Chain A
Amino acid sequence: MSGREITADDIESLAVGAWVLGTGGGGNPYLALLNMRALYKEGYRVNLMPASDLVDDAWIATVAGMGAPLVGMERLNDSKTIARAVRLMEEHTRRKFDGIMGMEIGGGNGVRPLMAAAHTGLPVIDTDTMGRAYPEAQMTSVAVGGLTPYPLTVVDVRGLESIVDKVPTWKWAERVARKIVVEYGSTSSTCQPPRTGAEVKKWGIHGTTTKAIKIGKAVREAQRSHSDPIEAILAIEPGKVLYRGKVMDVERRVTEGYLRGIARFDGLDDCRGSKLEINFQNEWIVARRDGEALAMSPDLICVLDADTGEAVGSETIRYGQRVTVIALPPYPVFLTPKGLEHVGPRAFGYDLDYRSVFSS
């Protein structure tokens, strides 16, 4: 098996870094981390393999947990069901997989591919299809690439298994799968449409597991040495500090099955006297400073705890928290007209022309 072995310490870092790349959504990776700790304790190991090592006709599974993070907090993640979703896809397509990648590196789904990999013995490909977290299935690089949106498997721990055999579009895949997930109790493991090695190499967002591990490692090392964790992130990633402040108000509402709302901040330190607003749809989408658009998707907007450098999620952000907001650069696949159609501000209903904080 090619690639390198992921260490137990890497997984600790991955959990922290994936949460940062979650840009507010994706769910806290803590339970997935606990599962990996337990698996490593039992002797399981996972290898990480760069996409460039894949042969063109390799067959790659894309996995993701789907549902409400809050339900996951009660039902807990089971490491075996995500592996079962992969096996079910193999049975359905009558073809064995050569590797596993994540649909999204952001949040708990950034760690889940490792759970499937541990049980199946397959390597994790150092690639995903978002480079962050996004709320909808069509907001991926493979959807931008127009790749086949089916089949899809959905598995519940009680032995409930569904296959979505054919859908015309990624949006249909999202709609149908969502119905199944809700019936299963709003938490489930999915295997997304299989990809060939050639497709992964062409359309995947590469090196993201390594990137999450690096970010997490920087934050954890800064915490240990009592230095500034946010400086530590910016020392390894070409990001920008957008704002320092305190949460003043959080307005949340559910529309069309998503958590939408606005978080409002008052400035601290060099931002004193200035106000920030971030609109979210699970993930942080558009940030406005004193009414002026400051940063927007596909730029990554990360709200971080000012002291620990750990990510603050849109579901748990609360009044009074002290945060530093940073932006990380967007991925080229989302910067084309087609990419922006999928994940630009208008895809989320904001009548704004995309302008990157990194373009000036």
Chain B
Amino acid sequence: MRRIGIDVGGTNTDAVLIEDGKVIRAVKAPTSEDVTTGILDSLKSLGSTGALKDKKVDGVMIGTTHFINAVVQRRHLTKVGALRLGMPATSTLPPFCDWPEDLATLVRGGVWMVEGGHEYDGRLFMPLDEAAVTKAAEEMKELGLKSVAISAIFSPLDNTHERRAAELVTKVIPDAVITCSSDLGRIGLLERENAGLLNAALADLSRETIAAFEKSIRDSGIAAPLFITQNDGTVAEASQARRLPVYSFASGATNSMRGAAYLSGLQDAMVIDVGGTTTDVGQLKNGFPREANSVVKVGGVRTLFRMPDLLSIGLGGGSHVQLDPLKVGPLSVGYKLLKDGIAFGGKQLTTTDIAIASGVLSLGDKSKVAHLDAATCKKVFDEAARLSEEAIDRMKTEAGDIKLIAVGGGAFLIPDKMAGVSEVIHVEHGDCANAVGAAIAQVSGECDQIFKDMTRVEAIAAAQGIANDRAVAAGAARDTLSTIESEDMPLAYLPGNSVRVRVRVVGDVAAT
């Protein structure tokens, strides 16, 4: 098995080559304005030692913040026709009703609400008003809308109305790109619909970006399928990622945690990823980041994305250091570290200067920081350790001491002994953990549904079957599937032993 993992970060584009479970080579290139050039550069650099010569690569996995940045920065967004199937319910809370106005104005191409949808137990809520769907599609066509988001009441339980409406829209607008909310999972109409609307708004950007990724790989001479890493530490085939770009929103942080698990060989541990400006702390469970279970806001929009539960603090390798009174962070020199730091001839004392003065790092001009004595350096390191310990404690879910994996370019700030930590593990290639995480990503399938008139065991088994099928459809090899999360919750007030079951399975990418 030979894979290339690429992480397109804000500052660097990292690439690693992994062969039969070992990191063969890891490189960094500056992220380029167009993203693609940076990828091409890092791939060239990765192959410059001949490591890739005449070798078959099984997959290139790319993690990118491109899509989430488009939403946050309100750029490259497509106008969307919103079609909701749920009348006469929901009418007082139409699509976009809880969006920030500036983003809604950019994305809202029009809103249509027609009769349709299901009940929690699978009964019809209302029959689908097909004539009204067709009329909506004709009006969308008139307006020139090409991207359509369809949502229906309880579509995660029964998506037939959404599917039928998609067919009807396609009849009127043959080249429409359609997002059905049932593809985005969970119970919660507004949040699921919001995810669908965001996804539809990324239709053009996603098509262009994935095409550019494919081109850069082709241009680099590597013949391998492209995969895009997702929020949950797994990958999707390029075609699926093109269709559902919102699933790639938070892959950067996830990849670095997954990479930490891989490089350390630990499945359950705390991970601290120390970057230039911020430090992220998260917990690994079964080799995957623990997910945030609550509402996640993206660019001001409430969604229920599968995102890692992370705590970010303002500490990093570029953090400003103030000696009297002692203060470390949250301000940072960021990407200007090699210019503004004292050891590099600049004026701002940073944590990196302290590390150079104390001999932890050999960079820059050590004589420029010679005035910093050992006691001063110790005080700064102690403060960085205290900030980290606090963050770790807040993320801990068990009372006992826990193993800690330190990764990222600023991992030198993490001492070998810490309160509440049984062991601090520094790993080789830890500064490219995110690209490693991309390279080793797996494929997942999820099911989140209400089952009724079944025993708990039967309901969980049914959910597992659905999740397995979804993972295989997404490109996993069936014989490698394993369940990594299973959660069930009986529903208050509902009859017939209704139980909501959420199951997630993962498996290795099937050989092509």
Would you give the shortest CB distance from B17 to chain A, in whole angstroms? 36
CA–CA, A319 and B309, complex, Å? 12
The minimal Cβ–Cβ distance linking B426 to chain A, given in whole angstroms, is 26
With both chains docked as a complex, state the minimum distance between the C-beta of A64 and any C-beta of chain B, in angstroms: 13
Instruction: Using known A-B contacts A76-B90, A254-B497, determine if residue A34 contacts B490 with beta carbons closer than 8 Å.
Output: no
Q: Which residues on A sit within 8 Å (CB–CB) of B126?
A: 158
When distances are taken between beta carbons in the complex, the residues of chain B under 8 Å from A69 are 492
**CB of A359 to closest CB in B, whole Å:** 31
B188 at interface (Cβ–Cβ under 8 A)? yes
Q: B394 is contacted by which of A178, A185, A254, A322 (Cβ under 8 Å)?
A: A322
Which stretch in A77-85, A99-107, A196-204, A331-339 binds the other chain? A77-85
Residues 26-82 (chain A) with a chain B CB within 8 angstroms: 31, 34-35, 38, 67-71, 73-80
Complex: A157 Cα to B489 Cα, angstroms:
27
Task: Let me know if B397 and A74 touch, CB within 8 A.
Answer: no
The answer to whether A35 and B120 have CB atoms under 8 Å apart is: no
Q: Is B89 an interface residue (CB 8 A)?
A: yes
Contacting residues, chain B, for A31 (C-beta < 8 A): 93, 190
Contact among A158, A159, A246 with B397 in the assembled complex (CB-CB below 8 Å): A246
Q: Chain A: which residue is nearest B188 at the CB level? A: A73
Which residues of B lie under 8 Å from residue A70 when comparing CB positions?
120, 187, 450, 491-492, 494, 500
B499 — nearest CB in chain A belongs to which residue? A254
**Complex interface: chain B residues within 8 A of A186 (CB):** 120, 493-494
Within 8 A of B (CB), among A307-336: 315-316, 318-320, 322
Q: How far is the CB of A260 from chain B (nearest CB, A)?
A: 9
Q: Is the CB of B89 within 8 A of A157?
A: yes
Q: Is A288 an interface residue (CB 8 A)?
A: no
A67 to B125, CA, bound (A): 16
Query: Would you list which residues of chain B between 68 and 108 have a CB under 8 Å from chain A?
Result: 86, 88-93, 97-98
Q: A74-B188, A75-B90, A254-B490 are in contact. Are A185 and B119 (CB under 8 A)?
A: yes
B195 within 8 A of A: no
Contact digits for B394-425, partner A, Cβ 8 Å, 1 yes 0 no: 10110100000000000000000000000000
Confirm or deny: B290 has a beta carbon within 8 angstroms of a beta carbon on chain A: yes
A38 touches B93 (CB 8 A): yes
Q: Give the one of A74, A78, A318, A319 with max B CB within 10 A.
A: A74
The count of residues in chain A whose C-beta lies closer than 8 Å to any C-beta of chain B is: 41
Q: What's the minimum C-beta distance from A154 to chain B, rounded to whole angstroms?
A: 14
| Interchain nearest-CB distance for B129 vs A (Å) | 13
Pair A75/B188 contact, Cβ less than 8 Å: no
- A182 proximal to B (CB < 8 A): yes
Find chain A residues with CB under 8 A from B123 CB: 185
Q: Nearest CB to that of A181 among chain B residues? A: B493
Partner of A38, one of B97, B119, B491, B497: B97
Chain B positions 376-410 with a Cβ under 8 Å from a chain A Cβ: 394, 396-397, 399
Interface of B is mostly: loop
The CA of A338 and the CA of B120, in the complex, are separated in Å by 38
Q: How far is the CA of A70 from the CA of B489 in the complex (A)?
A: 11
Q: How far is the CB of B271 from chain A (nearest CB, A)?
A: 15
* Cβ–Cβ contact A73 & B189, under 8 A: yes
Contact among B89, B97, B397, B489 with A75 in the assembled complex (CB-CB below 8 Å): B89
Interface centre among B117, B492, B495 (most CB of A within 10 A): B492
Question: A68 and B120: CB pair below 8 A?
Answer: yes
Q: Which residues of B contact A158 (CB under 8 A)?
A: 88-89, 126
Q: How far is the CA of A178 from the CA of B88 in the complex (A)?
A: 22
A75-B153, A76-B190, A320-B397 known; A34 and B492 CB under 8 Å? no
New contact pairs (16) apart from A71-B494, A76-B92, A182-B495, CB-CB < 8 Å: A31-B93, A68-B491, A71-B120, A76-B89, A78-B91, A78-B92, A158-B89, A158-B126, A185-B120, A186-B493, A186-B494, A248-B397, A253-B490, A282-B492, A315-B489, A315-B492
24 A/B residue pairs, CB under 8 Å, sorted by A: A34-B93, A34-B97, A68-B493, A70-B450, A70-B492, A70-B494, A74-B187, A74-B189, A75-B125, A76-B86, A76-B92, A78-B91, A78-B92, A78-B93, A157-B88, A157-B89, A158-B126, A185-B119, A185-B123, A259-B491, A282-B492, A315-B492, A318-B293, A319-B397
* Residues of B in contact with A (beta carbons under 8 Å apart): 86, 88-93, 97-98, 117, 119-120, 123, 125-126, 153-154, 187-190, 283, 290, 293-294, 309, 394, 396-397, 399, 450, 489-495, 497-498, 500
Q: Which residues of A contact B (CB under 8 A)?
A: 31, 34-35, 38, 67-71, 73-80, 157-159, 178, 181-182, 185-186, 246, 248, 252-254, 257-259, 266, 282, 315-316, 318-320, 322
